[in-house]
Amino acid sequence: MRSGFISSGWLVQSRPSHPIARCSGRPWSGASGTRGDRPNHPVYRVRVGAASLRRSSWRALRMKVTASADDLKRQVGYRAVDDYVRSGMVVGLGTGSTAAYAVERVGHKLSSGELKDIVCIPTSVRTEEQARSLNVPLTILDTHSKLDVAIDGADEVDDALNLVKGRGGALLREKMVEVCAKQFIVIVDESKLVPGLGVSGAMPVEVTPFCWQHTLRQIAALPSVAGCRAEPRRTGDSQLYVTDNQNYIVDLYFDRPIADAHRAAAELLNTVGVVEHGLFLDMATVALVAGKDGIYEKRKPGAR
């Protein structure tokens, strides 16, 4: 690489070697100030000074790009709350780095008095902890089975607003809450928009710990996901990942988009040992998308 480029939100600079910066075979003692002792040579000092300045500039720009990515998440999370949450509502709170900003916004608007008399249902333990830290009133589906709105992120969004969710491990609680909402608002950045589901990473399936290897084999043999690679999710220390519901996750990886997501969803749920899957089909009302030019809405084709 001969120049800087952006990868995963980070600016990377390659620095090709320059003859001045290459050692001539003489030791760099830094004591005599001779041409062979590069650190004390005036040309070398100028070169190093310029290189240090360039590195500082790149670091600052890298931080700026990262901050901008976080700022877009904040903007889309705040926008969802500002546009769709009103006083007196029952609200579903999603899980993930983008959804966390929506939770934050709810907390701030409650504190300022802009929102009143709302109760929220969190979709994970970590969302519950964040909401409690912001003094957001919480409830559960047992007492509030009908929600006015739910706001959450997604791992993939296709043109029909079908989703893959659950790479953060909260898919069961997310689906239980969000399927009960009159409006389900999805908040993402443009990198999550895909031509077909299953192309950008794992499609998670939550399974019972009992005989999970048997269930994994049953899943991999389903006609609708033929050719996928099924792997148990593990933590950084190679332990099996355990969900908030004390279940395991089998991650499915595909070389091409899932041909029939609705068929795959049905076959997965009909597999004994499967608790839930990460295909969220025909659930989203609208997607708020953070793009390079700001926030825009994405709706199903033909929808107003």
**Strands (E) located in the chain:** 5-7, 10-12, 90-93, 119-122, 147-152, 156-157, 163-164, 181-189, 203-207, 229-232, 248-253, 274-277, 279-280, 286-291, 294-298
Cα–Cα distance for residue pair 184/177, rounded to 1 Å: 10
Name the nearest CA neighbour of 173 among 236, 246, 240: 246
- 88-105: string of b/e by CB count within 10 Å (b at 16+)? ebbbbbbbbebbbbbbbb
128, 174, 178, 206: the active-site residue: 174
Question: For residue 258, is it left (φ>0), alpha (ψ between -120 and 50) or beta?
Answer: beta
Active-site annotation holds for 174? yes
Which two structure tokens, joined as six digits, stand for 89? 């509502």
Active-site positions read 174
